[in-house]
Amino acid sequence: MKKQTKQMVLKVLNHGTTVLLFLLLISMTFFVISSKASGGEPEIFGYQLKTVLSGSMEPGIKTGSVIAVKPGGDMKRFQPGDVITFQEEDGKLITHRVTEVVDSGGNIMYRTKGDNNDAEDLNPVLSENVVAEYTGFTIPYLGYFINFSQSQNGAFLLLIPGVILLGYAAITIWRAIKELDVPKEKSVKEENSSLT
């Protein structure tokens, strides 16, 4: 009875490890392909995932978090209280809260402020520079992992689960083939013994 329980536990651990490694490999493959296809930022169902690199929106959005933003649509629709992602002149993306909407002769501009900042941003944001709207979806600290995975050392370390999974698959296939050969050998021996 103990032997059967031990075998059952090992079998469950074996399957659990396989599923975990497979899911890790699939998720990393998805992030790599998605980020390459979208020019560096992963995209899921039309939402872009952005890594937050500063604490200007804390405590709601922590440094190192990954946030989901929705690109597209009418960029003149935002109201005070909305959180937008916009591009500065140097190409840097910032996610801050709209504090005021300024209509300047048909041009819509937004005054913005980080929730954790003492003052509003110096320059108003032109509606043309708004890239997306923050959806409220945040995964704390995942950004640190994504930034690490995009580094040379991180990419190397993320290959390890894939290599382990491939090695494990090869061993499993080899064992299955070996188990198939055992019944064949037994049937050949039985045929030989029945002939004599």
CA distance linking residue 172 with residue 136, whole number of Å: 44
CB atoms within 10 A of CB 176: 9
CB atoms within 10 A of CB 17: 13
Task: Mention every residue, 6+ apart, whose C-beta is less than 8 A from residue 140.
Answer: 62, 64, 65
Q: Report the interhelical angle of 152-195 vs 142-149 (nearest 10°).
A: 80
User: Is 104 part of the annotated catalytic residue set?
Assistant: no
Helix (H) or strand (E) run with residue 52 in it? none
**Active-site residue (options: 35, 54, 127, 149):** 54
CA distance linking residue 102 with residue 148, whole number of Å: 40
Contact 55, 49 (CB under 8 A): no
Contact 111, 127 (CB under 8 A): no
Helix (H) or strand (E) run with residue 70 in it? strand 66-71
Which amino acids are annotated catalytic?
54
